[in-house]
Chains A and B, each alone.
Chain A
Amino acid sequence: MSAGKGVEDRIDVFIDGEKVSCPPGTNLIDLVAGMGKEIPHYCYHPKLSVSGNCRMCLVELGTPAINRETGKPVLDEKGAPKIMFFPNPAIACATRLTSGMHVKTQSAKVKECRKAVLEFLLINHPLDCPICDQAGECLLQEFATDYGRGYSRFIEDKVVKPKRTVLGPRVMLDDERCILCSRCIRFCQEVVEDDVLGFVDRGTYTTLSCYPGKQLENNYSLNTVDICPVGALTSRDFRFRMRVWFLKETPSICTESSVGVNTLVGSREGKVYRITPRRNDEVNDTWMPDSGRALYNRIDAKNRLLKFRVNRLPVRPEEALQEALRRLQGEKVAFVGSGQSSVEEHFLFDCLSRAARSVLNCLVGRTREGDGFLISNDANPNVRGALCLGFIDTLPGAELTGLAEKINRGQVNTVVVHNEDLTTAGIGPGQLEKVEVVYLGSHGNGTAEIASVVIPTLTVFEKSGTFINQQFRLQKFLQAIPGPPGVLDDLVTISRLLNLLDGDEDRLATPEAVWSVLSGKLKCFEGIAFDTLPETGVPLDASAFRSLPFCEGASLHFEPETESVEARA
């Protein structure tokens, strides 16, 4: 407003006659999507460059007519500006809105264009929906139903192209189904910079292909399957295993690293079939690594713990809890938490450690080299949760040297371990002999072998909770499938122990209940409730931890705090 002729911050445009205000240069498809309407499209993807090749998003565009002599808008009989519509339809994906622009997304001409484009796309398409893995989430199916002709006028022979081409270890290609939208090619070029896909041949014989001697094998290759609007690219892991309309999709968070990739867990009848990325423009956009998608295999892993045990013998849950309680009531108890635990678990574990008068709380650090994109240097998804709750106050190392020293000096009798393996974290056999171990964990490991009490717990897919990622963003994951029969939720186990220890019977073991306490207790969690936490998370105030030398480097939507970088140097 201050500068008379400055760039306008907001402009008015008219979508099907409806006045909408938006910043200049807004993409038309995105704007209309934000209004709850749809401009059908195949090749456009909000996170890729605009290609404009599918021609599905054709709309009619108009601008106010300007009198060339006076330079003023031409008015109609009613005194409103006269709108000149362009004779040819324009693609919405390449349209950047300017002031006063009029768009028709539902006119007869637009509908005719969509019908024609769909007809062209379908004439050489195999129409093998009954055996196609994409059926149910196929844009060709959906738009053909919504905008298509409903019958075929094509009686010629279809073009024959390669079927079942192996593009890489995880991706399969059916060239006949491909509509040549080039999303996968642009993804490989622009997002992962692994330029292995391209078109060969010309015209209707154009074929998607991998460069000779190369494979689509980067750790993000399955994103091409996600963005493929049709059934051309399919996941070799998921194909033919489950019809997508049977899948229940649960919002979750990937535990692969502290990036906290937002995911959807697809499950049916207590079995997880696939993990796909969930859009979060602040964290992972619409992408996720292939390695994170394979994590559901841990649910049915061979070393999954399913039984409560005391001294290696199976017992009833209550017996195991009583045995664990007896050891917690003893002197000199140390607690080893996990960077894989949720915020709620950290909170209750911290409460338990206080009630048991813990001599030492520690966490096992897991650093490795990330990829600078969606896998960070920290393989623990929730170290920041433990920091925020005060379970630890320094960053964890890979070796539990403090614990080892205390055991050597005889200052620890019992170690309570949550989901970690002491044997690989710097505690030798000689030291393990000197202590009793209570192990709570979902999977067996060296520690479970020697623990006197073993309590099985759940994986991230079987419970609900929150993580705090590298950006100090609090993100929620929900239970996708029930846990194995008889196995208690981690929160139930820990709160039960806590109740037994301090005699308080009122504690509830759900994330909602934990948050009703947490939000009032800690300043950084003020006003947050589990139920109302947005699916894309909320950023927390991280000022208290600015001086800590976090290990993460720059990645998508994340720059490390300069202070911590300096501290590391």
Chain B
Amino acid sequence: MTAERKILLRHADEPYYSPGISSYLAYGGYEGLKKALKRKPEDLRQEVLRSGLRGRGGAGFSCGLKWSLVERKSGKPIYLICNCDESEPGTFKDRQLAHKDPHQVIEGMMIAAYANDVVQAFIYIREEMPLGAKILQRAIEEARAMGFVGGDICHSGYSCDIVVHRGAGAYICGEETGLIESMEGKRPYPRIKPPYFPAVLGLYQCPTIVNNVETLCNIAHIVRMGGEAYAEIGRHGNTGTRIWCVSGKVRNPGYFELETLTMRELLYDLCGGPLPGRKLVGIIPGGASMKILKVDDNFRNRDGRAITFDDIIIDFDGIQAAGSMSGSAGMIVLDDSVNIVEALANIIAFFAHETCGQCTPCREGSYWARKILARMCSGGAREEDVALLYDLAGNIGGRTVCPMGYSITWPVQSYIGKFRDQFEANAKSNTCGVESFAERLIEK
């Protein structure tokens, strides 16, 4: 029988489990931290590297490798930031972890802090989670009273405190350098890399580690069970469990902690399949900015073998081999009731609203795409709009300061590429008499 494998969410949804420290301690909470404090920081970093843990924020970069890039010889203080600015549409896993089991986050953070000689840790929580900020703040106070946070943690001589910093409401603060600028009190304009790699020149120009909430929660479990044991979970290169958030047109949407499951197992067995009388058309696998996967398409697995949509394995490599990215694991399901042009217009409207406006292609391109799509959705499409939209979107991704440019390029190009028939049908249904480019050139 298809089932979740619950590690991070093991207790969170149990009856009577509360965000208070007593619940957490009842199940062996902070044992990982105590264990970690008896070891050398260098050992712990090796442990995490051995675990094969990949970042759960979106890019899937190796956590151990990220830690190994931190500049430790500069003499500057090292900071740790827990990125709880979960704002990718379709993603709601960090919210669960922070709201329901905040001490797990704190334990993970304190281990990560100790392992990296961090002097001060921060939680950057998005503005739209005021309750989460309160819960985390209260949990930190409880943990501080018990000696798990603050001065001389568990009598080890190591000290590190956590500050909860609330954002002001911007998608781009989820990008690590934008987050750092925001924490410094500036506009969250992502920084150029080089030279501003957070591991060298991060918060206040000091080495900084920015990790996702879920990544840090995993740290606590890696220390408890050991890196090798953790690496046994999941497929090679995709170790550990991952919390997937399924939303959209399925009978039983929600969040699911999975080890290695296929699309069929997740969407049909766990989520109950499509709504009555409907047929699945596509899924956006990792948050709204990722490329869409069309259910009817042929796919390949990571070994290059041809497979169907149902057999795609839901992890970093499986989704990547299928032609998209697992991103922030926010899976949005579309069925045949969805107008694809309108769906794209919706997504691009979000990104046009959220582009920070720092660099030209993303700032101007997102709004241009938004205006074209709005016109297409209101009956004003021209035949050349599909090609124009495809071309302008291609001029954004990879040419911007931060990776957000791809949030325009990928959806636009993948939707048009996979559902070209729908776009072309839309373009033919021009009811508003918008002149085509060729028509405008003709002198009247």
What residues make up the interface of A, taking CB atoms closer than 8 Å to B? 50-56, 58, 87-89, 91, 94, 96, 112-113, 116-117, 119-121, 123-124, 153-157, 159, 179-180, 199, 201-206
Are B363 and A123 in touch, CB under 8 angstroms?
no
- Residues of B near A156 (CB, < 8 A) are 368, 371-372, 375
Residue B357 contacts which of A91, A157, A180 (CB distance < 8 angstroms)? A180
Chain B CB within 10 A, most for which of A87, A89, A91, A204: A204
Query: How many Å from the CB of B355 to the closest CB on chain A?
Result: 5
Are B360 and A206 in touch, CB under 8 angstroms?
no
Are A202 and B360 in touch, CB under 8 angstroms?
no
CA distance A204 to B359 in the complex (A): 10
In the complex, the chain B residue whose C-beta lies closest to that of A124 is B364
CA distance A94 to B360 in the complex (A): 16
- Residues of A near B352 (CB, < 8 A) are 203-204
Are A58 and B359 in touch, CB under 8 angstroms?
no
Are B358 and A53 in touch, CB under 8 angstroms?
yes
Contact with A along B39-80 (1 / 0, CB 8 A): 000000000000000000000000000000000000000000
Are A89 and B359 in touch, CB under 8 angstroms?
no
Are B356 and A202 in touch, CB under 8 angstroms?
yes
Are B399 and A88 in touch, CB under 8 angstroms?
yes
CA distance A55 to B364 in the complex (A): 12
CA distance A96 to B401 in the complex (A): 17
Known A120-B364, A123-B368, A159-B367: A203·B388 in contact at CB below 8 Å: no
5 closest Cβ pairs, A-B complex: A116-B395, A120-B364, A206-B357, A156-B371, A52-B192
Are A91 and B192 in touch, CB under 8 angstroms?
yes
- Residues of A near B375 (CB, < 8 A) are 156
CA distance A204 to B351 in the complex (A): 12
What residues make up the interface of B, taking CB atoms closer than 8 Å to A? 170, 187, 189, 192, 194-195, 352-361, 363-368, 371-372, 375, 388, 392, 395, 398-401, 434-435, 437, 440
Are A53 and B399 in touch, CB under 8 angstroms?
no
Are B170 and A202 in touch, CB under 8 angstroms?
yes
Chain A CB within 10 A, most for which of B358, B360, B367, B395: B360
Residue B368 contacts which of A54, A55, A94, A154 (CB distance < 8 angstroms)? A154
- Residues of B near A117 (CB, < 8 A) are 360-361, 395, 399
In the complex, the chain B residue whose C-beta lies closest to that of A120 is B364
Are B360 and A179 in touch, CB under 8 angstroms?
yes
Are A88 and B398 in touch, CB under 8 angstroms?
yes
- Residues of A near B192 (CB, < 8 A) are 50-52, 91, 94
Residue B360 contacts which of A121, A155, A199 (CB distance < 8 angstroms)? A121
Residue A89 contacts which of B372, B398, B437 (CB distance < 8 angstroms)? B398
Query: How many Å from the CB of A43 to the closest CB on chain B?
Result: 9
Are B357 and A113 in touch, CB under 8 angstroms?
no
Are A53 and B359 in touch, CB under 8 angstroms?
yes
Interface contacts beyond A203-B353, A206-B363: sample of 13 additional A-B pairs, CB < 8 Å, sorted by A: A51-B192, A53-B359, A55-B400, A55-B401, A56-B360, A113-B395, A120-B361, A120-B368, A123-B364, A153-B437, A154-B368, A202-B353, A204-B352
Are A204 and B367 in touch, CB under 8 angstroms?
yes
Query: How many Å from the CB of B185 to the closest CB on chain A?
Result: 12
Are A55 and B356 in touch, CB under 8 angstroms?
no
CA distance A497 to B170 in the complex (A): 76
CA distance A87 to B367 in the complex (A): 26
Are A52 and B361 in touch, CB under 8 angstroms?
no
- Residues of A near B356 (CB, < 8 A) are 202-203
- Residues of A near B353 (CB, < 8 A) are 202-203
Query: How many Å from the CB of A31 to the closest CB on chain B?
Result: 17
- Residues of B near A88 (CB, < 8 A) are 398-399
Query: How many Å from the CB of B406 to the closest CB on chain A?
Result: 10
Could you write out 24 A-B pairs with CB less than 8 Å apart?
A53-B189, A53-B358, A94-B192, A94-B194, A113-B395, A117-B395, A117-B399, A119-B395, A124-B364, A124-B367, A155-B435, A155-B440, A156-B371, A156-B372, A157-B371, A201-B357, A202-B357, A203-B352, A203-B355, A203-B367, A204-B352, A204-B357, A204-B364, A205-B357
CA distance A203 to B348 in the complex (A): 13
CA distance A408 to B145 in the complex (A): 89
Are B360 and A54 in touch, CB under 8 angstroms?
yes
Query: How many Å from the CB of B234 to the closest CB on chain A?
Result: 27
In the complex, the chain B residue whose C-beta lies closest to that of A202 is B357
CA distance A327 to B195 in the complex (A): 71
Residue A203 contacts which of B357, B395, B398 (CB distance < 8 angstroms)? B357
Query: How many Å from the CB of A140 to the closest CB on chain B?
Result: 12
Residue B355 contacts which of A50, A58, A159, A202 (CB distance < 8 angstroms)? A202
In the complex, the chain B residue whose C-beta lies closest to that of A87 is B398
CA distance A393 to B392 in the complex (A): 70
CA distance A321 to B395 in the complex (A): 73
Are B398 and A199 in touch, CB under 8 angstroms?
no
CA distance A176 to B68 in the complex (A): 46
CA distance A202 to B372 in the complex (A): 20
Are B355 and A53 in touch, CB under 8 angstroms?
no
- Residues of A near B357 (CB, < 8 A) are 180, 199, 201-206
Query: How many Å from the CB of A328 to the closest CB on chain B?
Result: 67
Residue A204 contacts which of B187, B363, B399, B437 (CB distance < 8 angstroms)? B363
Are A120 and B360 in touch, CB under 8 angstroms?
yes
In the complex, the chain B residue whose C-beta lies closest to that of A42 is B360
Chain A CB within 10 A, most for which of B398, B434, B440: B398
CA distance A113 to B361 in the complex (A): 10
In the complex, the chain B residue whose C-beta lies closest to that of A157 is B371
- Residues of A near B194 (CB, < 8 A) are 94, 96
Residue B195 contacts which of A94, A199, A206 (CB distance < 8 angstroms)? A94
In the complex, the chain A residue whose C-beta lies closest to that of B192 is A52
CA distance A89 to B405 in the complex (A): 13
- Residues of A near B189 (CB, < 8 A) are 53
- Residues of B near A94 (CB, < 8 A) are 192, 194-195
- Residues of B near A203 (CB, < 8 A) are 352-357, 363, 366-367
- Residues of B near A204 (CB, < 8 A) are 352, 355, 357, 363-364, 366-367
Are A55 and B361 in touch, CB under 8 angstroms?
yes
CA distance A168 to B314 in the complex (A): 59
Residue B363 contacts which of A51, A155, A180 (CB distance < 8 angstroms)? A180
Known A91-B192, A156-B371, A202-B356: A53·B364 in contact at CB below 8 Å: no
Query: How many Å from the CB of A42 to the closest CB on chain B?
Result: 9
CA distance A106 to B4 in the complex (A): 54
CA distance A155 to B194 in the complex (A): 37
- Residues of B near A120 (CB, < 8 A) are 360-361, 363-365, 368, 395
- Residues of A near B372 (CB, < 8 A) are 156
CA distance A124 to B371 in the complex (A): 12
- Residues of A near B399 (CB, < 8 A) are 55, 58, 88-89, 113, 116-117
CA distance A21 to B160 in the complex (A): 49
CA distance A45 to B173 in the complex (A): 27
Query: How many Å from the CB of A117 to the closest CB on chain B?
Result: 5
CA distance A105 to B388 in the complex (A): 26
CA distance A413 to B290 in the complex (A): 93
CA distance A56 to B392 in the complex (A): 16
- Residues of A near B392 (CB, < 8 A) are 116, 119, 153
CA distance A50 to B399 in the complex (A): 17
CA distance A119 to B170 in the complex (A): 27
CA distance A51 to B358 in the complex (A): 9
CA distance A89 to B365 in the complex (A): 18
Query: How many Å from the CB of A350 to the closest CB on chain B?
Result: 55
CA distance A55 to B365 in the complex (A): 13
Chain B CB within 10 A, most for which of A89, A199, A201: A199
CA distance A203 to B365 in the complex (A): 10
Query: How many Å from the CB of A97 to the closest CB on chain B?
Result: 12
- Residues of B near A89 (CB, < 8 A) are 398-399
CA distance A54 to B361 in the complex (A): 8
- Residues of A near B368 (CB, < 8 A) are 120, 123, 154, 156
Query: How many Å from the CB of A178 to the closest CB on chain B?
Result: 11
CA distance A121 to B359 in the complex (A): 10
CA distance A205 to B364 in the complex (A): 10
In the complex, the chain B residue whose C-beta lies closest to that of A182 is B358
Residue A121 contacts which of B364, B388, B401 (CB distance < 8 angstroms)? B364
In the complex, the chain B residue whose C-beta lies closest to that of A56 is B360
